[in-house]
């Protein structure tokens, strides 16, 4: 479980960078597929953002309490 805790900690510390990467990855897929799967890519991007937010909220509150 140490690996998952470390991953959640990195995610919470870099959530803004992860969001940027999600956007860039979606843009690359749209470009390579010439927009053919744009609606699916958008859904996947939103799901990824939600997963980041859920893990950041859950992990962030635990991580902050441990640092105080």
Q: Residue 62: its pLDDT value, please?
A: 46
Q: Residue 1: its pLDDT value, please?
A: 64
Q: Report the chain (68 residues): mean pLDDT per 10 consecutive residues.
A: 82 87 96 96 95 75 42
Q: Residue 58: its pLDDT value, please?
A: 62
pLDDT in tens, 45-64: 999 999 888 887 765 444 44
Residues 25 and 47: beta-carbon distance below 8 Å: no
Residues 26 and 42: beta-carbon distance below 8 Å: yes
């Amino acid at each position: 479980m140490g690996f998952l805790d470390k991953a959640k900690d990195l995610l919470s510390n870099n959530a803004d960078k992860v969001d940027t990467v999600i956007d860039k990855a979606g843009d690359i897929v749209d470009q390579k597929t010439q927009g053919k799967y744009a609606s699916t890519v958008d859904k996947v991007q939103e799901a990824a953002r939600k997963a980041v937010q859920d893990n950041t909220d859950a992990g962030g509150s635990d991580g902050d309490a441990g640092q105080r």
